Amino acid sequence: MKFNQSTKKEYIWNTVGVFAQNAISPFLLIVIARLNGIYDTGIFSFAFSLAIIFWAIAMWGGRTYQVSDVQKEFTSGSYIAVRVVLGVIVLMGAVLFSLINHYDSTKTIVIVLLVLFKVIESFSDAIYGILQVNSKLHIVGKSLLYKAIAGLTMFILIDSLTKDIILSCVGIVIANIFIVLFYDLPKTKEAVKDVPSKRIEAGSLNEITTILKKCFPVFVVIFLAMFSLNIPRYFLDVYHPSEIGIFGIIAMPVTLVTLFMIFIMQPNILKLSTAYNNKKYTEFDYIVKRVFIFTILIGIGILAAGVTIGIPALNIIFGINFNGYEAALTAIIIGGVFSALVTVFINIFVIMRIFKAQLYILLLTNLALLLSSPSIVDQKGLLGGVVLFMVVNVVQFIIFAFSYRFILAKNKKQKITKLHSYTN
């Protein structure tokens, strides 16, 4: 695949930005483990994972649907408005969830603050969609980098002085709001002005409602996809709360594999959408295969590193004894690789506007995971949870792979049939 200078800039900055965005959680876990101890690490890792679940609701389909809207079905302003409405709902939901589960004040406040942080991220993502459509993905990368640096700096500074994770989380929120107001919004307006006859149109109530309806299947799919790791995590918090901090730390390779998958997938969304809409299925499949090959190779590299030096490295970095968790680390990395591959399929199916198939796949497999998790996690603890995560993702990947090949073959056959009918 050949890249011109502009495309290279898009890829490089997007890679740097996405890496910085996803590196925040692991870096913060290191800081908290060193400064505050394993107890606060457990609170933060659980709250952050929960915030990601609420973030999935606030995203409601995410940038993939927005960027792949090559027919301009909805205005950019409507996509932004949807995120604002959902952000308010999500924040109320986070408070309600914490009250229902009777979390103490510290845990509740940390959850709400991190959900607010992810709500801001969701709002920004709609702005990033506008930038990406206008070939300004490098601005997105820079924004993500600035937010990561500012947020991490604020957190470390405040936590070093106070040892208070609540005040430190407030620092992250303030840093992100500042970047949105003084970088994201001005740069987006500037980028849109550079394109003749384009502007950020205001959203309408009718379009907002329609987007919510049309993107609902996408939301459900992405929401269900996030459950494969968070269902065992939830029951671990219930039955073995002392291991929740360890779980959050050894789950970092999952984020790392997904991170590299995003590097490869995100810049290709527009190309995949164009190829598929123009019925260039061979070109479409070629790009898909490349994404999978690179993701698998990266996954193998991370697995090799995890097996050989993973535990000693964690012992040194976090100052905590992880000996005895070798099998759990291996299982969660394998599960993470397959989870990333499943996420690739989810993005591809969204581009293909195929929702029912992946909805059924994820719904049934996650239902099985939900039913089996309480007893297995209760009996086997952390190891039982990560093995369940691994098995479910392997099963999901196999089913998705067969479904994709079947659907693509069917589309190719229909295209050939139409061509024959025209020639005859």
Reported as a single tens digit per residue, the pLDDT across 354-368 is: 888 888 999 999 999
| End-of-domain residue from the set 164, 188, 214 | 214
Residue 80: count of CB within 10 angstroms of its CB? 23
**Residue 273 and residue 186: Cα distance in Å, rounded?**
28
Question: Does position 196 have pLDDT exceeding 50, yes or no?
Answer: no
What pLDDT shows up at residue 422? 53
Residues 346 and 370 in one domain: yes
Do 413 and 311 lie in one domain? The reply is yes
Q: What is the pLDDT of residues 144-171, one digit of tens each?
A: 999 999 999 999 999 999 999 999 999 9
Regarding whether 266 and 151 lie in a shared domain, the answer is no
The mean pLDDT of the chain is 87
Containing H/E element for 403? helix 356-423
Using one digit for the tens of pLDDT, what is the confidence trace for 309-320?
Answer: 999 998 998 888
More confident residue, 367 or 416: 367
Number of folded domains in the chain?
A: 2
247 in the same domain as 365: yes
Q: Give the model confidence (pLDDT) of 8-40 as tens digits.
A: 777 788 878 888 887 888 889 889 988 998 889
State which of 167, 188, 214 marks the end of a domain. Answer: 214
CB 381 within 8 A of CB 250: no
Residues 31, 176 within the same domain: yes
**Claim to verify: residue 223 and residue 314 sit in the same structural domain:** yes
- Same domain as 255, residue 163: no
What residues make up the domain containing 118?
1-214
Question: In this model, does residue 197 exceed pLDDT 60?
Answer: no
Q: What is the pLDDT of residue 103?
A: 92
Among the residue ranges 150-159, 375-384, 407-416, the one predicted with the least confidence is 407-416
Do residues 195 and 230 both lie within one domain?
no
Q: What is the pLDDT of residues 59-112, one digit of tens each?
A: 886 677 787 776 778 888 888 899 999 999 999 999 999 999 999 999 999 999
Domain match, 161 and 231 both: no
Whether residue 223 is found in the same domain as residue 329 = yes
Q: Give residue 192's pLDDT band: very low, low, confident or very high (50, 70, 90).
A: confident
d(CA 4, CA 267): 14
Q: What is the pLDDT of residues 174-187, one digit of tens each?
A: 999 999 999 999 99
| Domain closes at, from 189, 214, 239 | 214
Task: Identify whether residues 53 and 202 lie together within a single domain.
Answer: yes
Q: What CA–CA distance (Å, rounded) separates 165 from 186?
A: 31
Are 54 and 123 members of one domain?
yes
